[in-house]
Amino acid sequence: MSWEASALLLLGGSTLLLFLGLPVAFTFLAANLVGAVLFLGGEPGLMQLARNSIVSVQSFSLTPIPLFVLMGEVLFHTGLAFKVIEGIEHMIKRLPGRLAVVAVVAGTVFSAISGSTIATTAMLGSLMLPAMLQRGYHPTMATGPIMAIGAVDMLIPPSALTVLFGSLSGISISKLLIGGIVPGLIMSAAFVIYIVAQAKMNPSLAPDAELPGHRGWDRFRPFVKYVVPMVSIFVIVVGAMAAGWATPTESAAIGALATIVLAGIYRSLTVGNLLKSLKGAVAISGMLLFIIVGATTFSQILSFSGATNGLVQMVTGHDLSATQIVVGMMLMLIFLGVFVDQISMMMITLPIFMPIVQSLNLDLVWFGMLFLICMQLGLLMPPHGLLLMTMRGVAPPQVTMKHIFQAVVPYLVISLATLALVFFVPAITTWLPALLV
């Protein structure tokens, strides 16, 4: 079978199944079974597929995923995340669009101590959206910042999706985690600037809210009591990796233990919410590991069939510059983000993209951050963006899908501008990993 036919069968077939709505794991299981029979030799091929599947989830580099997810689950189920929001709210003085700004700042802090993008959006949506609507915020002003900052969770460590991406792409996980800090903070700052400017130009979108009546030490107590210790977890996790004292797995274990210990110190940890946190972490991690099995073996079969080498030679043989090729990749990722979820984007593209990137000798961390920002765009992309659906699930009835679609557009523009900035100034993502790792 020619490499063109192999590529059409494997890539085209898996993409079609995804568009038809088959779950990601089952899509690639089906593609792998067909590929093993055709390209690995029938029954022996199926046996090899089983062996490869086992090996794919035995990698030590995957162990940070459940630990990062557990951190976010503990913070959510113990209620400590809500205490963080309260501490930040007391610190921010009167400001146009103040509650929306609080949502962005709190979401940034929560992103630094949680590995779950959906958890950030669901938590902020459940807590802050009703408060903003009650105080007269327009639905677009209330929902936009919450969805936008939820997507930034993917960039600011710890991030389970970043660990998954690093494992599948072969890029250093610790460098990817640290490389996302600066673009994530740039994006958060741009969101705040936009909110303040919008609220100043049209105050009816975000009426002034009454400030909490705390003064003196009472104003600072929640921040010192809850926010500072939580941020210290982020410092410990990233600092241990950056200093070379701990691997990403060991850093994740330290972060998970510190989160549980803090919950115990605050007397928020009970057997019930600990079990809920563990169950949530197991469910999410099991899903991700099952997907890794399909993705890894799919890449192997695609390579064995000759489709990978054929596609790489076709792309590199057209006398296109590295810049043109990377731009084409980014456009393809943004297009896919309209239709499929982030994990599916990785499954479809990484087996093709990474050999091309390696053959062009591009900086892998820089390319990885471009890829992650494109996936972040996919979380916000109408009509099927995962965070749009999450917001619809937690929003009250007066917030319509039209409001949600309108709300997310300005933040998509800001995210695209950040993508362009990282593309033209690679040092934004590469200098910190080069300095620390």
Query: Which residues have a Cβ under 8 Å from the Cβ of 194 and sit 6 or more positions away?
Result: 410, 411, 414
- pLDDT at residue 215, as a whole number: 64
The token duo for 100 is 């929306």
- pLDDT at residue 211, as a whole number: 56
- pLDDT at residue 214, as a whole number: 58
Count Cβ atoms below 10 Å from residue 243 Cβ, excluding itself. Answer: 10
Helices vs strands, H then E, count in the chain: 23, 0
Query: Which residues have a Cβ under 8 Å from the Cβ of 303 and sit 6 or more positions away?
Result: 309, 351
Q: Is 387 exposed, middle or buried (0-12, 13-18, 19+ CB in 10 A)?
A: buried
Rg of the chain over all Cα atoms, to the nearest angstrom: 22
**For residue 351, cis peptide bond before it (omega within 30 degrees of 0):** no
CA distance 97 to 79: 25
φ/ψ (deg, to 5) at 146: -65, -45
> Per the structure, how many domains does the chain have?
1
Q: Are 410 and 194 in contact (CB under 8 A)?
A: yes
What torsion, rounded to 10 degrees, do the Cα atoms 269, 271, 272, 274 define? 60
Angle between helices 139-152 and 181-201 (to 10 degrees): 170
CA terminus-to-terminus distance, the chain: 45
- pLDDT at residue 247, as a whole number: 79
- pLDDT at residue 155, as a whole number: 85
CA distance 205 to 317: 53
Q: Are 275 and 10 in contact (CB under 8 A)?
A: no
Chain center to CA of 233:
19
Q: Is 303 exposed, middle or buried (0-12, 13-18, 19+ CB in 10 A)?
A: middle
- pLDDT at residue 316, as a whole number: 67
Q: Alpha helix (H) ranges present in 338-400?
A: 342-359, 364-380, 386-394
Token pair 């939580």: residue: 230
- pLDDT at residue 315, as a whole number: 67
Q: Are 13 and 20 in contact (CB under 8 A)?
A: no
Q: Closest Cα partner for 115 from 162, 169, 59?
A: 162
pLDDT per residue of the chain (437 residues) written in tens, 0 to 9: 777 788 788 778 877 876 777 776 777 788 888 888 888 777 787 887 787 777 766 666 677 778 877 887 887 788 787 787 777 777 777 778 888 888 888 878 777 666 566 667 777 777 778 878 888 889 999 999 988 887 787 788 777 778 888 888 888 888 888 898 899 999 999 999 999 999 999 988 888 765 555 566 677 788 888 888 888 887 888 788 777 788 778 888 888 898 899 889 988 889 999 999 888 888 877 776 776 677 667 777 777 777 767 766 776 667 788 888 899 888 888 877 766 667 777 877 888 888 889 888 899 999 999 999 998 888 788 876 777 877 887 788 888 888 988 999 999 999 999 999 999 999 999 988 888 65
CA distance 371 to 350: 10
CA distance 135 to 140: 14
Q: Is 207 exposed, middle or buried (0-12, 13-18, 19+ CB in 10 A)?
A: middle
- pLDDT at residue 113, as a whole number: 63
Identify the domain containing residue 162 by its residue range: 3-436
- pLDDT at residue 187, as a whole number: 92
Amino acid found at 124 = L
